[in-house]
Structure 1
Amino acid sequence: MDLSNPTQANVEYMIEAIKTKLRMATGAAMQASSFSIGKYEDIKDIYDMIDSKDRFSISEVEAIVSELGKLRG
């Protein structure tokens, strides 16, 4: 998938991929449509970081979820 263009579809793809990779129990509460294209670069940074790792500690997951929460809306 080409994520070089800031589109709403790319935002939604990245959020869904993040939720899947983190196996987020609260994933249902984090709707991809709640994220604005205006936060694209921040979301892409989180996506790239998550994509580069295989495992996450509980504190890392909590920090990522917290950051995503700040980017919502």
Structure 2
Amino acid sequence: MTEKNYEFRVQGWISAPVRDAVGEFGDVCVLRAPPETLIYGEISDQAHLTGMLALLGNLGLRIVSVHQVPNPPA
């Protein structure tokens, strides 16, 4: 599977330690979009996507939506 860009939308603004933890899972871009946080990243395969969703859940984040997007924001 070719890497695809995904947008993970979570409830609220995430703290710096949580942003750091998310960043350790791969190259991500975190943007504030009140009242939510947008996390963009390249996902390589189904296992990577499942792992990212598990990480977000384990960090206590409420996932609002997940979408495949053509390009992440610059």
TM-score computed with the length of structure 1 as normaliser: 0.28
Higher helix share: 1
| Greater RCO (Cα-Cα under 8 Å, separation 6 or more) | 2
TM-score computed with the length of structure 2 as normaliser: 0.27
